[in-house]
Each structure stands twice: as C-alpha cells, then as structure tokens.
Amino acid sequence: MPEGDTIYRAARALQQAIGGKAVTGFETGLAKLARVNDDAPMVGRVVERVESRGKWCLIYFSGDLILVTHMLMSGSWHLYRAGERWRMGRSRMRVVIKTAEWEAVAFNVPIAEFHTARSLERSAQVPRLGPDILSAEFTVEGGVARLEAYAAKHPEAEIAVVLLNQRVLAGLGNVYKSEVAFAAGVNPFRAMRTITRREMEAMVDLAQRYMKANVADGKGEGIVTYAGNRRTTRAMDREERLWVYRRQGQECRRCGAAVMMRKQGEQARSSYWCPECQPWVGEGSGPVGRTA
C-alpha cells in the first residue's frame, strides 16, 4: 500500500503542476465520472487545489466539485507534459485532467468519485481524518494529545495498530509504523495503557521527521511514482536505508539481535521489531515473531 508520504508527494506535485490552472480537457474510463462530466463539464473549471488526506488524494475544482481518489495497492497518478508519451497503457487509464501544459493521469485507481463539499462532509467512505503529519498545522503536542485521548478510550489497543489508524494521525503507513516504533524503542505490540507520554512524544516527533525527510523537494517535474526511496537510517545505501522493515532474521543495526516479524491487528499488517531494543512491557513474556 502506498505510504502517506507518497500520496502527499503526489498531491504536492499535482498541486504544483495543475493547481490554479484551467482544465482544457477531461477524459475518464469510469462511467460514474463520465456522467458527472456530461452534466457539468470539467473543461473550463479551474483546479483550485490538490491535497492529500492520509491515503486519499483530493482535487478541488471550481464550481464545488471534488475528485476523490484512493490508490490502494495498484493506483497511481502520473504527470506528463502535454503530448508526452505515457509510461502505462491506455487501458489502465481511469482519469485524465488536462491543462495547457500538463496531463495528470490516474492509472488503475480503484476508487475515484466526485463529491461536492457537502457530500464529502457526509461521506462515510472518506473518513474524517486526524491531522496529517505532513501538514503545516501539525504539532508534536497535538499528535500526542490525540494518542492520549485514544489511549484513554482504548487502553488495550496495540500501539502499532493505533499508529496506522488514520483517524488518530493521518499519513503514517506500514513501513514507517515499524521504523518509528523501533527508533523510539517501543515494542509494537504494547497496549496503549503501557505507553508513556515521553514515548508518545518520541514516536510522534520521529514520525514527523521521518516523513518530512522522505518527501522529495521535486518541483512536480515528470513522473510521479510510488517507488519512494524511503530512508530512516542515515546510511545512503539503499540496502541500509531501513532499521527493521522487511529485515526479519537479519541483525538489528543497533544491537545485533535477530529482527522479528509478526502479523498484527485485524488487517494482519506486518510489524517488524527488535526484541532487545524494543523490550516488552505488559503481562506475560510478550509476542514472539518469525525470524525467517
């Protein structure tokens, strides 16, 4: 699943390329969108802004129309100069937004729909999100307050599951979840009631710093992909770039113990951790994961 930072990066690239520009062409392979375009044409509208909310990308057009897309596993937004050859087949195209200079093309997006401000507000599908970690308004204190409020209501919830809950903090994905917990020395399976304020502060601060560091300063040139080169260790080598993610059985970069992996939560997302650097706090001896 694309990480929140790649959606943010895609939204920012789209904003820089087509934000404030008039729509000169619109195509879609999706009947529902085509019907809206027939009734209330997109051509002539202005792209007011593009924003990410967690894993959702929202493109606001003048005249109270919002195109909402979710990438899930397979979808992506690409940017091409007008007339430039696409790097994916036309059969995978779902939406094209053309401006004088750019073509923004959504490929394989499994969810794409139009909303008005009101219908978006009422939508159960596009959740009201917690503050986006990458937004200018986000603060560590604010993020900690949301974790504390959640812990008060759900004391038994496991921290790594909560870190992925987009209604608590929006934007953190499965890779950073494990990386942040490692760097803060917090075992991903610990119950919220065992997490100290200091640990929450460390995790929120790390989440913000990691995600900012991994948002490239591209100017919206060329192609937008989800092959983001995520780096959390300081090493430049690609192989050395993550602390624990997908490193089960390998030596912990800090202590040498074998990194573990275990599926976690209702969605069975993989969590990676070092049993030495992220000691268990709670009843019993704590969960054991695979090292192979």
The binder of Zn ion chosen from 255, 263, 279, 290 (CB under 5 A):
255
How many CA atoms are closer than 13 Å to the CA of 266, on its beta-carbon side? 4
Q: Does 17 bind Zn ion (CB under 5 A)?
A: no
Give min distance, CB of 190 to Zn ion, in A: 16
Cβ-Cβ contacts under 8 Å for 214 (sequence gap 6 or more): 5, 228, 229, 230, 231
| DSSP assignment string, 9-65 | HHHHHHHHHHTTPBP-EEEES-HHHHHHHHHS-STT-BEEEEEEETTEEEEEETTTE
The binder of Zn ion chosen from 27, 58, 276, 281 (CB under 5 A):
276
Nearer to Zn ion, 7 or 277 (CB): 277
| DSSP assignment string, 137-160 | T--HHHHHHHHHHHHHH-TTSBHH
Distance CA 169, CA 159 (A): 12
Give min distance, CB of 252 to Zn ion, in A: 3
Query: Does residue 69 contact residue 109 with C-beta atoms inside 8 Å?
Result: yes
Q: Which two tokens stand for residue 275?
A: 């049993």
Q: Does 274 bind Zn ion (CB under 5 A)?
A: yes
Place of tokens 């005249």: 63
Distance CA 148, CA 72 (A): 29
Window of 94-102, 166-174, 190-198, 250-258 that interacts with Zn ion by CB under 5 A = 250-258
Residue whose beta carbon is closest to Zn ion: 252
Window of 7-15, 98-106, 123-131, 276-284 that interacts with Zn ion by CB under 5 A = 276-284
Distance CA 194, CA 204 (A): 16
Nearer to Zn ion, 235 or 255 (CB): 255
Strand partners, 26: 97
Nearer to Zn ion, 225 or 233 (CB): 233
Q: Which residue type occupies 190? A: R
Nearer to Zn ion, 166 or 278 (CB): 278
The binder of Zn ion chosen from 70, 277, 287, 289 (CB under 5 A):
277
Contact string 46-85 vs Zn ion (x = CB under 5 A)? ----------------------------------------
Nearer to Zn ion, 1 or 258 (CB): 258
Give min distance, CB of 24 to Zn ion, in A: 55
The binder of Zn ion chosen from 21, 231, 254, 262 (CB under 5 A):
254
Interaction site with Zn ion (CB under 5 A): 252, 254-255, 257, 274, 276-277
